[in-house]
């Protein structure tokens, strides 16, 4: 039986299941560093993960972690209010990541919590249309 999943259901699944699992990438036998979660990462840590991903040709765990850290979904069920940013469907992921990483690189406080900095960057780059 085919079942159609609505956008809110898919977004909720992303936030509750996929993102927490994917952002907790464990280190491996080759000694790769673990990726920080967005809730605990600093701007400098996110930039370090993204730099490792770029050095590895934008493939592998670091590149995937960079995407998850720089493009979090804005769909936390416990947060009231409208969405803070709206990525256009036509925006390629690599372009959006590049724009966020560039803005992070310009941020004056590398020890700042990345979650709030990235949220502000995304809200500025990709504002939602008025309701």
Residue pair 22/63 in contact (Cβ under 8 Å)? The answer is no
pLDDT digits (tens, 9 = 90+) for 79-121: 667 778 888 888 999 999 999 999 999 999 999 999 999 999 9
Max CA pair span of the chain: 53
Q: For residue 34, what pLDDT band results from cuts at 50, 70 and 90? A: low
For residue 16, the model assigns a pLDDT of: 42
Percent of the chain with pLDDT over 70: 66
Asked if residues 37 and 24 have their Cβ atoms less than 8 Å apart, the reply is yes
pTM of the model: 0.69
């Amino acid at each position: 039986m085919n079942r159609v999943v609505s956008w809110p259901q898919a977004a909720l699944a992303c936030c509750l299941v996929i993102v927490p699992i994917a952002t907790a990438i464990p280190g491996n036998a080759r000694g790769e560093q673990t990726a920080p979660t967005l809730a605990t990462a600093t701007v400098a840590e996110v930039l370090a993960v993204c730099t490792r991903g770029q050095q590895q040709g934008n493939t592998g765990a670091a590149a995937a972690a960079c995407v998850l850290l720089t493009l979090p979904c804005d769909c936390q069920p416990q947060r009231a209010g409208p969405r803070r940013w709206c990525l256009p469907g036509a925006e390629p992921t690599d372009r959006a990541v590049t724009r966020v990483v560039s803005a992070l690189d310009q941020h004056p406080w590398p020890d700042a919590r990345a979650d709030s900095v990235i949220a502000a960057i995304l809200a500025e780059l990709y504002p939602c249309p008025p309701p």
